[in-house]
Amino acid sequence: VVAKVVGVLYDHLRELEADIDSLMPMEDYEWNKNLTLLDRMNTSLGVINHYESHEINEIISHLYRVLSYIDEAVDTVQYYNERKELLLNYRILEKKIGRILADNDEVSLDDLGVSEKFGREYLKLYLRGHYTEIPLEEVGSGLRRVG
């Protein structure tokens, strides 16, 4: 039963990671991916699923470990869902930021109409994605066209 629950979480995490990676507007953007959870889950699942070739104390040890991974996996799923939502909406906000900058030469968090948390991420993504074509600088809680 434990292996099935963890297996479902494992598959869901892999799908979410692939979705987030595919939605990323740039390859080198760090989105705080949990770099070790899937490997740890996979190792423990390997021992549990192939219990016949392992000592009982090793199996029990991995059972305890894999149970502790469930909380971390649920928290990670929640975080990944938030990242995915943010990235699904980024292209819309990217266009909005571009229009505001074209009209006013400056865009602030208040102009975006989203939560401060998401707004900061959208501005950061925009800055990273457009710094070569549009000279921009961060000002307070927004961006300003330079020059």
pLDDT for residue 16 = 98
pLDDT of residue 136: 94
What is the pLDDT, as a whole number, of residue 47? 80
More confident call, 51 vs 25: 25
Model confidence pLDDT, tens digit, residues 47-94: 877 878 888 888 888 788 888 899 999 999 999 999 999 999 999 999
Question: If you write DSSP's letter for every residue of 59-104 in order, what string do you get?
Answer: HHHHHHHHHHHHHHHHHHHHHHHHHHHHHHHHHHHHHHHHHHHHHH
Mean pLDDT, residues 8-32: 93
pLDDT of residue 101 exceeding 90 = yes
Task: Name, in order, each residue with C-beta under 8 angstroms of 52's C-beta and a sequence gap of 6 or more.
Answer: none
Question: What's the pLDDT tens digit per position in 116-145?
Answer: 999 999 999 999 999 888 899 999 999 999
112, 101 contact by CB (below 8 A): no
The model's pTM is: 0.83
- 18: which 2 tokens? 């692939």
- How many whole angstroms from its chain centre is CA 131? 22
pLDDT range class, residue 102, cuts 50, 70, 90: very high
Region 98-103: mean pLDDT is: 96
21 pLDDT more than 90: yes
State the pLDDT at residue 2. 77
